[in-house]
Structure 1
Amino acid sequence: MNGNFQDIVAIKELLKKYPKGLSITEISSALHLHRNTSAKYLDMLKLKGDIDRKEIGAAKNYSLVRRMPVSTLLHFCLHPAIVLDSRSEVVMVNAEALSLLACPLDVIYGAGVKDIPLSLFKDPEVGTRCHDAAQGVRSGAEVQTVVGGKRLHLTVHYLPVVFDTGRDGCALVLVDETACRQAVEERDLCRKRYGALIADQTEFVAHIRPDMTLASFNEALCVHLGRARDQLAGFRFLSLFSPEDREQIRRGLSSLLPTAPAFTADVRTVRQDGSVCWERWTFRGIFGEDGSFLECHALGQDITEMKNDKDRLKRYHENLETLIRERTQEMQQANMALVTVIREKEELEQELLFTQFAFDNASDSIILFDEEGWVYKANRTAGELLGYTAEEFQGISVIEINPSITQAQWDRMQAGASPGVKERTRSTHKRKDGRIIEVEVSRTFVTFGERMYFCSIAREVLPRR
C-alpha cells in the first residue's frame, strides 16, 4: 500500500514538470512502472480530480489539474450549486440553487447553460467561463441580477469538477452576498449619518480604543486642542488631562459594564493660552455580544462658564445678607439725596414762578432783544403798551419797535456794548396800530450764559394836563 502511494505521488510530481502533459508510455518509462500499473494509478487520479485526460489521436495525454469530485462538492457545499457536463448542459442542481433562483427543476435540468430562462445566464461570458472550467480553468465573477423582482448580489465560482465516471465537467457555485452587501451599505449609510451628525456639533466627540488611543473624533475637538486631524490620529486620550484626572477616568472606564455602560467626569484642562478650564466628559462603553469591551464613545463640553457661575452664585448666597444691608443703606442714602433734590427743585420752581410773575406784572414794559435785534422775550405790560400778543412779539425787531434806531446804529450799539452799564433816555416806540408814543427808557446790555441780550425797560410819557 505504501508503494502504491509513493508511485501516485511520483506520477503527480512528474506531471508538475510537464504542464502540457505526458502519455502513459512516457510516464511508465520515466518512473519504470508497468504500463497497466501506470494506467490504474492514472484512472485513480482522474477520479479524484487530480489530473486531466485528453485524447490526441490514438494516444491519451495526461496533465496535472485540480478538479473537485462532484459527489464531494454536493455533499459539503452549503451554497447553491449547478453542475454542468462537458457540453455545458445541466446534469445536477441542489435544493439551495432551486430556492435561490425560484425555478423548478424541470426547467433547468438538461438545459444548456445559455438556455436557462434567467437573466443571470444570458451573459455570453457565462458560457465562456463554463467552457474554461470544464477544461480545468477555475474562475469567479461578481454579478448583479434580478430574480423574482428582487435584486441579488452574487459571487459566481466556476469550478472544474470530475464525475464518478471520470468525465470532466463544471460546477457553478452561487454565493449569495445580497444580505452582506445590504449590511455594508447600511453600515456605510450609518457612518455617513453619524459623520453628518457630529460634523457641526460644538461638543467634543471622540471614539477611544481599549488602549486609550483616539480612533476617531470630530472637528470641534481638533479646534479645541489646536491640532490638525492627522496629529490626533492614534493620540493617547488620557494625556489631555492632569495625572489626578487621568486616574479618575481610568477607574471610571474600568467600571463600565454592559448593564452600566456610562459614567460622567468633570476634569480640568489647560487651554492653548495657558488658562485653566473645566470640561465635562461622558463616557459610554460599546460592548460585543459576548460582553467584551470594544471601544468607548466620549462626549465632552466646556463647562468653565457654568462652573464660574456656580462659584459666583455660591458667593452671592453666602454674602446675601451683607449685600442686602449695603443695598438698603445705599437706597436710603439715595432716597435722602433725592428728597433733598426734589425740595431744592420745588424751591427753585417757586422762585422761577415768582420771577416770571413779577416780570409779567411789572408796571413798566420790559423787552429783551437778542444779538440780532429780534425780540427774545417781552412781558405782559409790553404787550399791553404796544398792542402785541406774546406770539406776535417773536417776529418783531428792535428797529420796528423803536423807529429812532437804525440798523447802523444798532450795529454800533452791539459793537460797543458793555454789560451792566445802564442808560436812561427819552425815546419813541411804535405801536402795532402804527401810532408813535413817547417813552422814558432805561436800557442796558446783560449777559446770560454765553449770549448777550439788550434789555429795554420803558414807560409811556403821558401829556401833562
Structure 2
Amino acid sequence: AMTELCKRAVLGSFAEIDITTPDKKDQKNLHIRIIPVVFDDGRAGCAFLIQDVTDLALARKEVEICEKELKIVSEDLNEFVFSCTPEGILKRVNHPFCVRMDRKPEELLGFPYEPVISHEDLERLSKMKQEITPTKPSQTISFKAIQPDGMMAFEEWTYRGIFTQDGKLSGYLAVGHDISREKHLEEQLNTFHASFEALVKQRTKEMRQANQDLMKEIARRERIERELLIIEAAFNHASDSILLFERSGRLWRANETSCRLLGYSKDEIAAISVYDINQEITPEIWEDMWEQAEQEPGISRVTSTHIRRDGTIIPVEVSRTFFTAGPITLFCSIAREIR
C-alpha cells in the first residue's frame, strides 16, 4: 500500500496513511502525509511528513473502552437510557428504551427524539433543559407520555448535561423510568379525599386530552405515510433513470425507469453494483469520488456510458450528487440516454 501511494504521489497525487510501528516495546502510531515534489534537476519525487499521533490513538482507544463499558452498564439497567446532541439527535440508546419506543436501534439513531406529551409539558421540558449549566448539570422532570400502543404512562426523566472543558454544551445523557404504578397509587389515595363525581370529571378530562393528543399524532403519521407514497410514485415515474448507491458500491434503490433503460427486472437490478453499470468507475475512482464529495459537496454533470444487461453500451448524460438522510449517505446518479 505504501509503495502504491508513493507511486501516486510521484504522479502528482497527495496521499495520507496511518501506520503502527512493529516494535512492541516502543510502539508508535504515525500519521504520514505523502506530497509530490520536483527536485532541482526536474525529476519528480515525493516527500514524507510524519506526525506522531500515539497519544491521540491511545486517547481514542480509552474513549472506545469507556463507550463499551457505558453500553454494557446501560443495557443491564431497567431504566430507559439515551444520549443525544443539544438538538435532540439520538446518539446512543439502550434496550429498554428501544422496547419502550417499539423500534430497533437503527430506526432511532441519527434521528431527532421528542416525547409525545402535551404542549405544556413540552414547554416545561424545554425550559428545564435551558436551566442545565456546568454548575447545575442535572435536572429532573415527570410527565404523562403517550406510548406507541396509544396508552398513557407517567414517566420521570433525569437529564444530565455533558459539557466540554470550556463549558460548552455537547449533549445530554437522559435516564428515565415508568412511575405509573406510583402515580396510580397516589391517585387512589387522593380518591379518599374527593367525591366520586369530581373524580369522574377529572378522568373524563384526562381521557379527552389524551385522545386529542393521540388523534393528532395519528393524523401526523398518516400525513407522513401519504407523502412517502407520493414521493415513491414520483421516484418510480420520473422520466430519467435514478440509481442510489451505498459507499460499498452496492445498489441501494433504483426506479422503474432505470430498470427499463438497463434491461433489468426489479429483482435482477437489486443485485448489481456501480461497477456493473459504469465500466469507467474502478474501486479507486469510486473511493476518490466519496472523499472529494466530503470536501466539496455539490452536483456534477458529466457525459458517460452505462452497460445494459445484454452488454450493450449506451451513452448517457449523468447528474451526480451525494446526500445524507439520517445515518445513511448515498450516491445519486440521474441519467438520460443520449440519442
- TM-score normalised according to structure 1 size: 0.35
Using CA pairs below 8 Å that are at least 6 residues apart, which structure has the higher relative contact order? 2
Larger radius of gyration: 1
